[in-house]
Amino acid sequence: MKTKLLILAAICFTLAGYSQKTELKAADKALKSGDTASAKASLDGIQGMISGADEKTQAEYFFLRGKTYADLANKGDNDAFNVAVDSFEKVLSIEGDKGKHATETKQRMAAITADLVNSAVADNGKKEFKSAADKLYLSYKLSPKDTIYLYYAASSAVNGGLYEEALGYYEELRDINYDGSGVVYKATNLATGEQEMMDKTQRDLMIKSGAYKDPVDEKSPSKKAEIVKNMALIYSQLGEDDKALAAFTDARASDPNDVNLVLNEANLHYKLGDKDKFKTLMAEAAAMAPDNADLQYNIGVINMEQGNIEEARTAYRKALEVDPGYVNAQLNLSTTYVDEGNGLIDEMNSLGNSKADIARYEEIKKHKDDLFREAALILEDALKLKPDNQSILTQLKNIYGALGDTENFMRIKKFLGE
Other Cβ atoms closer than 10 A to 313? 19
Report the C-alpha gap between 309 and 300 in whole angstroms.
9
pLDDT at 367: 93
What is d(CA 327, CA 147) in angstroms, rounded to the nearest whole number?
46
> Bigger pLDDT: 221 or 39?
221
Phi-psi region of 404 (alpha: psi -120 to 50; beta: other; left: phi over 0): left
Alpha carbon distance 376, 399 (integer Å): 7
pLDDT digits (tens, 9 = 90+) for 121-153: 888 899 999 999 998 998 888 888 888 889 999
Classified by CATH at the fold level, domain 324-418 comes out as 1.25.40
**How many Cβ atoms from other residues are within 10 Å of residue 244's Cβ?**
23
Q: With a cut of 60, say whether residue 418 has pLDDT above it.
A: yes
The 10s digit of each residue's pLDDT in 244-264 is 999 888 888 877 888 878 878
Query: For 82-101, what is the mean pLDDT?
Result: 76
Task: Judge whether residue 200 has pLDDT over 90.
Answer: no
Domain boundaries, the chain: 1-126, 182-220, 324-418
Sequence-ordered strand ranges (E) for 204-268: 212-220
What is the spatial distance between Cα 370 and Cα 80, in angstroms, rounded to a whole number? 75
Range with the largest mean pLDDT of 42-46, 48-52, 308-312: 308-312
Asked which of 93-102, 265-274, 366-375 is least confident by mean pLDDT, the reply is 93-102
pLDDT at 7: 45
Q: What is the pLDDT of residue 6?
A: 46
CA count, 13 A, side-chain hemisphere, 345: 11
CA-based angle 93:96:99, to the nearest 5?
A: 125
Q: Packing angle between helix 80-95 and helix 129-142, nearest 10 degrees? A: 10
pLDDT digits (tens, 9 = 90+) for 74-89: 776 767 777 877 777 7
How wide is the angle at C-alpha 21 spanned by C-alphas 20 and 27, nearest 5°? 90
What is the rounded CA–CA span in Å between residue 135 and residue 189?
30
Per-residue pLDDT for 17 more than 70? no
Q: Rounded distance, CA 46 to CA 310, Å?
A: 81
Q: What is the rounded average pLDDT of the residues 50-58?
A: 70
CA distance 161 to 133: 11
The per-residue b/e assignment along 137-151, b for 16 or more CB within 10 angstroms, e otherwise, is bbbbebbeeebbbbb
